[in-house]
A and B are shown apart, each in its own frame.
Chain A
């Protein structure tokens, strides 16, 4: 089955159906923490980490719930796992890098309710991926999320230096370039099947 090879899953999750720019999931950190390249990269790394952990946990939980014949617990279990993982990441970052902890601010606990992460867990279950495929899917989604964040952070850093009309400065401009970025990612749709 060539179309579901690991490489395809990775490209699919990161580019063709990029979580942020094609599925519009996880928009809030995409707009909120994309002011600086440095924080954007680290936020991307944090989200990717949470994605991988919660993807592994989701796989295990799904298997367990199927065995127990209780798939109705899927959603609530995923939420509990994601919330705890984010808590753990928060503690680790606070310990390792207080500066990053301050820079990420409120957006770090907001990963808890980030739809990109819950969406990932639900998508991989729906698509029926096995453990390895889930892992690659999470990695691809994380890479795509980081890519989107880095791209918009780069644009915003450049635009800080540009002479922009007053009316469009700030949030309005960010939303406009987010739209244009999404438009360019539509080009990858041609790669899909």
Chain B
């Protein structure tokens, strides 16, 4: 559980306050990960923070990709890292998205804001499935605050040629030709069989709650809805208790949970 040194190979500015680090292991190869898992990134002298993997699951050995929003001291320190500089990495931790659950069913990926980052490895996985595809039908619903605050703009465009991509922003601008409104609106309108679909949600907790309300109204069972939770994770192994959420530790039992298992906890304020 000692952080291993990684080097920043490439740093990409996604939009002001959000950036992506492409990291390479200096000493030993980075272990493989499942989409949805996270690493603890250690900015020397500042501290550690849990950040989901956002690169390809089958990426080059020894590399890992993380998209980060600057929100506190540690992420601010990570934001200052330049290409060639080092940081510590522990992981991968947590469980991943339950892709086998979506076999033979339609998979709805519902992302809000930075929540697209933990779902990007799922999209890579889905697009690179051997044919015939085990999960043949999938689509992405992505909501963001403004067009300029959408992640992976070039990739979104490319994905839209290979899968349905429905984007919506809270506030459009004159250059925006997509939808304006909340993510629940395209969900309400979308043509899918709610009884034979699975949904993976990642984004701000309130956005996930409203999206779940809509999915339940559409008739999707709670057991077909999976969410990725965020809490104050410290050890990554369920020992320190910082991320306890009801009977669960988000770092160990999550961060991906089946809504049916946690719906009672999701409604409790300040938990």
A binds B: no
